[in-house]
Structure 1
Amino acid sequence: MLRTATRRDLPAVLALLADEEKVVDPASLVVDAAYEKAFADITGDPRNEILVLADGDMVVGCLQATYIPGLGKHGAERALIEAVRIRPDRRGGGLGRDLMKQAVERARRRGCALVQLTSNRDRVDAHRFYASLGFAASHEGFKLAL
């Protein structure tokens, strides 16, 4: 089930983000003031959402979607998808595909003209996955750490 994250989901989301290769126990993480503020800022902004894929009470996947207004594409919004994660022990069963397809459909219903994302150039499997969903590696991305 895909749903908007609640504060109760925050430790599970942080556990997914903590390590891409192993399962991290959400109870082992400290949810400090910086995480609390970031979560409140994201969930309080109508142009941002954290989505979780839940299997019962367990969060098995997540992503953040940001809706960006722009003048290109005749003033349509674009959706930026980041921090896509599936629990390592639940990969390979179609959960990531389901998560992404539902996120793309949410963007479509919102009226977005495109969905974009970035992926670390070393994540070759992720690149194949995104290509299988119809994403094209059409641009070269740049980042500046501050």
Structure 2
Amino acid sequence: MIFRVATRRDLPAVLALLADEDQVLDPATTAVGEEHERAFAAIESDARNEMLVLTDSGADGTDGTDGTVLGCLQLTYIPGLGQGGQERALVEAVRVRVDRRGEGLGAELMRLAAERARGRGCGLIQLTSNKRRTAAHRFYERLGFARSHEGFKLPLERP
């Protein structure tokens, strides 16, 4: 397995993972819209954001750039005054292909993300998860995440 920063080439596979977590979608049939292109470019150009992927080694057997994307997540680094001024890492969009679950890929993905955040000096890694994703909640708890806060979201209307 290869853990690396996503490239534009990975965008269809990442979108396929995010589109439906209960079935494997073919990235070749996943529509990549202009809004996705803009969002990916913004993530890619922002030093406080990373879209990360876990891939198999691929046909070239080297860096995973031509391998199958098996999982993904986005890490956002947030500066703060709490916790002694340490940054915290926010984890979003965690997905593992449904046909590869149960192999430890999700745990490895999260371990590597925590290692990356720790290496940057973060003192905390946090995430939110939709209340309906009970299997994901059990997974995060097995990894040592605690249900320490209640989350709130407010959808904003576009102007």
Which residue is equivalent to 2:131? 121
Which consecutive unaligned segments of at least 5 residues does structure 2 have?
Answer: 59-66
Kindly provide the amino acid, as one letter, of the partner of residue 54 in structure 1.
Answer: T
Identity %: 68
Q: Does 1:110 align with 2:120?
A: yes
Q: 1:38-60 CA distances to partner (integer Å, 9 max, x unpaired)? A: 00000100000000000121000
Instruction: Provide the aligned length of Structure 1 versus Structure 2.
Output: 146
Cα distance in 1, alignment partners of residues 131 and 14 from structure 2: 23
Structure 1 position 122, deviation (Å): 1.6
Cα distance in 1, alignment partners of residues 136 and 73 from structure 2: 14
Structure 1 length-normalised TM: 0.98
Secondary structure of the residue aligned to 1:145 is coil
Cα distance in 2, alignment partners of residues 122 and 7 from structure 1: 30
Secondary structure of the residue aligned to 1:51 is strand
Which residue is equivalent to 2:107? 97
Q: 1:3-32 CA distances to partner (integer Å, 9 max, x unpaired)? A: 000000000000000101000111111212
Which residue is equivalent to 2:62? none
- The runs of at least 4 consecutive aligned structure 1 residues that moved more than 4 Å come to none
Q: Does 1:139 align with 2:149?
A: yes
Q: Does 1:2 align with 2:3?
A: yes
Structure 1 position 91, deviation (Å): 0.5
Match 1:68 to one of 57, 74, 78: 78
Map 1:77-96; keep pairs closer than 5 Å.
Answer: 77-96=87-106
Which residue is equivalent to 1:12? 13
Which consecutive unaligned segments of at least 5 residues does structure 1 have?
Answer: none
Kindly provide the amino acid, as one letter, of the partner of residue 115 in structure 2.
Answer: E
Which residue is equivalent to 1:25? 26
Structure 1 position 124, deviation (Å): 1.3
Cα distance in 2, alignment partners of residues 123 and 61 from structure 1: 17
Kindly provide the amino acid, as one letter, of the partner of residue 124 in structure 2.
Answer: L
Which residue is equivalent to 1:47? 48
Q: 1:113-134 CA distances to partner (integer Å, 9 max, x unpaired)? A: 1000001112111111101111
Structure 2 length-normalised TM: 0.90
Kindly provide the amino acid, as one letter, of the partner of residue 119 in structure 1.
Answer: S
